[in-house]
């Protein structure tokens, strides 16, 4: 009976190659994407640039649809969606209106450098797609899905106590009200109280900002995972887990709220928790995820800008949205390539500095600043705290080889995490997947020096707190 059900399910699945049956969602989504592109590109002056940008958009769009059509693969889906909007539609719109962010009037002037940046972008998303699909084609280790993981005894208590201690210390130093004011005001308060990052080092400032939010997210996720592992109905929930959940949720409300934290921190905290709670895995859930992602990145931003000015036209909305500060990614790719041409490769200096963010600058004088600061300063921007797409930062480290290998590895990692999410619920890798799915927005937007301190502590704490299940007894453990 089980085999028959599997065969029936397989027959109902959409087929992509060598078959008459096509996923019914593919044509309308493709037509919508084509329509959006055509509306934006009617005046693009260079067909080669348009072809490269359109190809990058198409790879990302196809990857996004493939990541939801047979069940949601949240890590890859998030990456493809953001790439399609930010590095696909964004550059096309900017070439259409002949304008980019931060008043830079030189980036689009030289078509040769524009096309080189577009070609690098196409190489990067193609390498990610290849790595993702290599991972999908690999069977699970041992031929069987990984069993449910276990949470190490006592680790939840340790992390909850740490959150209380670190959180109360941050509130003592900065005041509770500082966590419910605009981020810029809180940053100024932090400088007045503690000092600038250059004076006290990133580790000191992270003690009052990054660490409390990371602990809050980890404590909350572990409490939910423990409830799911031990699920025996609502009446079977242990009081201790409710206490951990309450401590973590209160920590998120204080230290990861969108009022005083960056959008990425708030999105990572709230979004990963929603994925863990809702556990979206079906194709229907996948297409809802895809729709929310595309609407959020392509429509909400334009509508938000439209309300800022009365009587704004569609042209105005497009111009303000895709040439504003939120869409500075493509020009930073151009700037990064110019930087490498003049300065040379960094040989991994920025990546190592990002991973070892917790090392005080007093102990490591040569510790690199986030790479985007150097690139923006080299380009002559007065404001240098910009984004830097992951493939541009990889190019800064080791050129084309760094981009190809790095993006291939990133795609492979996404594919393995997604495979665990779909095929091995509550396994150790599956528990990392929701955090990784939201972390991809920061990984892609960059720079690593600014984004790694946000998500890496959460992933590290989860890896340390969770123990892989015993494969020998996997068949005896019921799955949710």
DSSP state at residue 244: H
Average pLDDT on 159-186 reads 86
Question: Quick check: 283 and 70 in contact, CB under 8 A?
Answer: yes
What 3-state class would DSSP assign to 467? strand
Token pair recorded at residue 362 = 């007093």
Closest CA to 147 of 425, 405, 351: 425
- The reported pTM is 0.86
Tens digit of each residue's pLDDT (9 = 90 or more) over 331-349: 999 999 999 999 999 999 9
* pLDDT at 224 (0 to 100): 96
* pLDDT at 134 (0 to 100): 95
Looking up tokens 């334009």 gives: 302
Closest CA to 330 of 101, 52, 169, 103: 101
How many whole angstroms separate alpha carbon 253 and alpha carbon 244? 14
* pLDDT at 303 (0 to 100): 57
Token pair recorded at residue 322 = 């895709």
Confidence grade of residue 92 (pLDDT, cut at 50, 70, 90): confident
How many whole angstroms separate alpha carbon 178 and alpha carbon 158? 26
* pLDDT at 51 (0 to 100): 86
Whether 38 has a pLDDT exceeding 80, the answer reads no
Tens digit of each residue's pLDDT (9 = 90 or more) over 103-122: 787 888 888 899 999 999 99
* pLDDT at 17 (0 to 100): 37
* pLDDT at 317 (0 to 100): 59
* pLDDT at 77 (0 to 100): 96
158 Cβ neighbours under 8 A, 6+ residues apart = none
Whether 3 has a pLDDT exceeding 50, the answer reads no
Average pLDDT of every residue of the chain: 83
Q: What are the CA-CA distances from residue 74 to residues 44, 77, 236, 322, 468 (Å)?
A: 33, 5, 30, 25, 21
* pLDDT at 311 (0 to 100): 53
* pLDDT at 158 (0 to 100): 96
* pLDDT at 297 (0 to 100): 78
How many whole angstroms separate alpha carbon 301 and alpha carbon 313? 15
CA–chain centroid gap for 282, Å, is: 21
* pLDDT at 478 (0 to 100): 47
């Amino acid at each position: 009976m089980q085999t028959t059900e599997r065969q029936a399910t397989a027959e109902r699945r959409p087929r992509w190659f060598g078959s008459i049956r096509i996923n019914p969602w593919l044509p309308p989504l493709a037509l919508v994407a084509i329509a959006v592109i055509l509306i934006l590109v009617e005046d693009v002056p260079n067909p080669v640039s348009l072809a490269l940008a359109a190809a990058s958009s198409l790879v990302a769009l196809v990857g996004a649809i493939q990541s939801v059509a047979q069940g949601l693969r949240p890590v890859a889906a998030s990456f493809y969606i953001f790439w399609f909007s930010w590095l696909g539609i964004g550059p096309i719109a900017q070439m259409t209106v002949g304008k980019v962010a931060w008043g830079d009037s030189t980036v689009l002037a030289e078509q040769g450098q524009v096309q080189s940046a577009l070609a690098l972008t196409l190489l990067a998303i193609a390498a990610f797609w290849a790595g993702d699909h290599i991972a999908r084609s690999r069977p699970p280790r041992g031929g069987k899905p990984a069993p449910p993981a276990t949470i190490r005894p006592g680790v939840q208590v340790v992390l909850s106590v740490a959150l209380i201690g670190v959180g109360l210390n941050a509130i003592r130093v900065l005041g509770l009200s500082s966590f419910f004011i605009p981020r810029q005001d809180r940053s100024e308060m932090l400088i007045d109280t503690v000092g600038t990052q250059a004076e006290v080092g990133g580790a000191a400032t992270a003690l009052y900002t990054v660490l409390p939010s990371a602990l809050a997210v980890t404590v909350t996720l572990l409490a939910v995972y423990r409830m799911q592992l031990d699920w025996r109905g609502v009446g079977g929930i242990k009081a201790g887990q409710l206490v951990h959940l309450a401590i973590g949720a209160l920590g998120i409300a204080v230290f990861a709220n969108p009022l005083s934290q960056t959008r990425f921190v708030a999105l990572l905290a709230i979004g990963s928790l929603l994925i863990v709670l809702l556990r979206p895995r079906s194709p229907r859930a996948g297409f809802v995820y895809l729709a929310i992602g595309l609407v959020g990145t392509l429509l909400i931003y334009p509508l938000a800008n439209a309300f800022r000015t009365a009587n704004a036209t569609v042209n105005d909305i497009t111009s303000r949205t895709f040439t504003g500060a939120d869409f500075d990614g493509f020009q930073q790719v151009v700037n990064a390539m110019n930087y490498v041409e003049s300065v040379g490769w960094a040989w991994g200096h920025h990546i190592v500095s990002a991973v070892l963010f917790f090392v005080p600058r007093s102990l490591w004088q040569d510790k690199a600043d986030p790479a985007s600061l150097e690139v923006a300063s080299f380009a002559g921007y007065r404001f240098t705290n910009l984004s830097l797409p992951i493939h541009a930062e990889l190019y800064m480290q080791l050129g084309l080889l760094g981009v190809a290998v790095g993006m291939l590895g990133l795609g492979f990692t996404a594919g393995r995490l997604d495979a665990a999410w779909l095929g091995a619920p509550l396994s150790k890798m599956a528990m990392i997947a929701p955090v990784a799915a939201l972390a991809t927005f920061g990984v892609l937007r960059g720079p690593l020096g600014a984004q790694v301190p946000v998500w890496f502590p959460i992933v590290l704490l989860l890896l340390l707190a969770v123990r892989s299940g015993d494969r020998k007894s996997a068949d005896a453990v019921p799955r949710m």
